[in-house]
Chain A
Amino acid sequence: MPGRIAVSEQVAATWQTATLTEVRRETPYASTFRLAVPRWAGHLPGQHLMLRLTAEDGYVAQRHYSIASAPDDSGHIELTLDRVPDGEVSGWFHTVARPGDTIDVRGPLSGFFAWPGDRPALLLGAGSGIVPLMSMVRHHRARGLSVPLRMLVSARSPEELIYSGELGAETTAVFTRSAPAGVPVGRMSATHVAPLLAERPPGGWEAYVCGSNGFAEHASRLLVAAGQPVDRIRIERFG
């Protein structure tokens, strides 16, 4: 198993009040929610948080969400949430939430999927699995890092590709249902992964895979088949 990054126990154990400051539509099915968290201790790209909504009768719903924004000093973090049919928490965000609302968050949590920007990173994601990977891409840009970074993302269609306007030369998009003219439609395959592994940066890639379990199984097997060491693949599955 790959190594670890220590997480501060005080921070992880403390609930804080976050205030929603902005909602941005990303795709017909996903929006970004910007939160002011004045006492946020900072995070590493790839980490997640735990979020809690409380009903008037005391009923509580808790969920884990990946952090989309890069670490910065703005006192804000961003989450990008899919609109899940009947989603108890995401449903509230997509249909009720508006700037000024407050929610409880704790984190950042888990150092396993985090990328501090130290090693060449190969990022494979599908759907909203791009969210923690985008935090890494944004971090890479914001700090002007020179360490190699490549991202391969799968979406059903260009309209459903989250952050499409923000993706650059580091990213290759694969479309499974419909694609722009001249771009083949199909699943992520060895032909997408092989050229990235052929680049072989000094020290090799640290691979990060994020998406549904079906995607994670498929993508991680592609990486292994292409020669990526098993112990340098980190997986975040939406369970």
Chain B
Amino acid sequence: MNVTRGFTGRRRVSRPGLPPGQYDAGDDWPVLSAEVTPDLAPADWSFRVDGLVERPHTWSWDEAHALPGSAYEGDIHCVTGWSKFGVRFGGVSLDAFLSVVGPHVSATHVLARSHTGYTANLPLADLTGGRAWIAWSYDGGPLAQEHGGPARLIVPHLYFWKSVKWVAGLTLLDHDEPGFWEGNGYHERGNPWQEQRYRGD
């Protein structure tokens, strides 16, 4: 440990729920995307699940909304260092979509993609069991465009670059395939509690 002369840090209270290396962003919700925010109307949004599934399927905005609603209330963590406590997203659990398509037993990983061409890879196990959502509302209102509206993926137990904005679909695979940031040196999985920020962490 290399102590920095004269550095004391902010007066701090230990905050349960704050992963290592993170700080509490409070009311801020920084926007971090490497691309131009798309003008994507709900009517133009669709969500497709394909690859190693029994019945590939594409949902329109209305068809996705007809699935049973589900919400996430909890914390989110960005690899750039901020965490945000007590957020509320509304949408549909990913389990509901997956039960329609029927994942093949050989499916182990997922490549999630956005309507802008962004991608992120995830183990399939990180998306099942009530741990992932397609979300279109935030704090009771529509999800803002710059935060991924009209709809984004939410995988709150991983760093937020995995929670693909403007989500367009998932392709189930029998192998891991790096997505956009993973190809740019970020960690394959991105568990905030293990500080899996960059490849090799």
Contacts and interface: CB of A to CB of B under 8 A. Distances in A.
Interface of A: 1, 4-7, 9-10, 12-13, 17, 50, 53-56, 58-64, 86, 88, 92, 96-97, 101-104, 106, 109-113, 213, 216-217, 220-221, 223-224, 230-231, 233-239
Interface residues of B, number: 41
Contacts of B2: 17, 54, 102-104
A114 B43 CA distance: 35
B81 A235 contact: no
Contacts of B117: 1, 231
A237 B184 contact: no
B3 A239 contact: no
7 contacts: A63-B81, A96-B5, A102-B5, A217-B146, A231-B117, A235-B35, A239-B31
B136 interface: no
Contacts of A9: 185, 198-200
Contacts, number: 129
A6 B176 CA distance: 18
Contacts of B32: 237, 239
B185 A220 contact: no
Contacts of A102: 2, 4-5
Interface in B169-183: 180-181, 183
Contacts of A106: 198
B116 interface: yes
A111 B21 CA distance: 22
B69 to A, nearest CB: 29
A176 B29 CA distance: 25
**Chain B at the A interface: SS class:** loop
B12 A13 contact: no
Contacts of A1: 34-35, 116-118, 180
A217 B34 contact: no
Most B CB atoms within 10 A — which of A97, A216, A224?
A216
B147 to A, nearest CB: 10
B185 A54 contact: no
Contacts of B4: 53-55, 92, 101-103
A10 B200 contact: yes
Nearest to A5: B184
Contacts of B31: 213, 216, 237, 239
Contacts of A59: 8-9, 12
Contact of A55 (B8, B81, B118): B8
A56 B5 CA distance: 8
A88 B8 CA distance: 9
A60 B23 CA distance: 10
A101 B4 CA distance: 7
